[in-house]
Amino acid sequence: MPEKNFDSIRPIVWRGGMLYLLDQRRLPQQHEEIICQDVAAVARAIESMVVRGAPAIGIAAAYGVALAGRARFRQSSTSWQQDIEVDLERLAATRPTAVNLF
């Protein structure tokens, strides 16, 4: 039996070390992706409601943590765990009503 592709629209995609987010503000008229290469871009996407819905926000924030971790480790392999705290606070502040984001 041939495999069918039921998930042709993917709202969150990790590809080539970057996060691609389907801009949910544009639906259903347009299919546009926002490319996030760093934690700041992920935070802006969450704040501006590119990403909607608690599960999608949580997943996007988790990818933001991965981007932050990679960037901070490149800056300093010895202090990255302390340095990333500011990025985690930035992500946590994106949705003040999402008390369970972290």
Output the tens digit of pLDDT for each of the chain's 102 residues: 556 666 677 899 999 999 999 999 998 898 899 999 999 999 999 999 999 988 899 999 999 999 999 999 999 999 999 999 999 999 988 876 655 555
Half-sphere exposure of 22 (CA within 13 A, CB side): 16
- Tokens for 31, please give them: 């299919």
What residues contact 31, with CB distance under 8 A and at least 6 apart?
9, 22
Residue with tokens 């972290």: 102
* Residues 27, 33, 37, 43, Cα dihedral to 10°: -10
Nearest-angstrom CA–CA distance, 43 and 80: 19
Domains plus CATH for the chain?
12-92 (1.20.120.420)
The structure's pTM equals 0.86
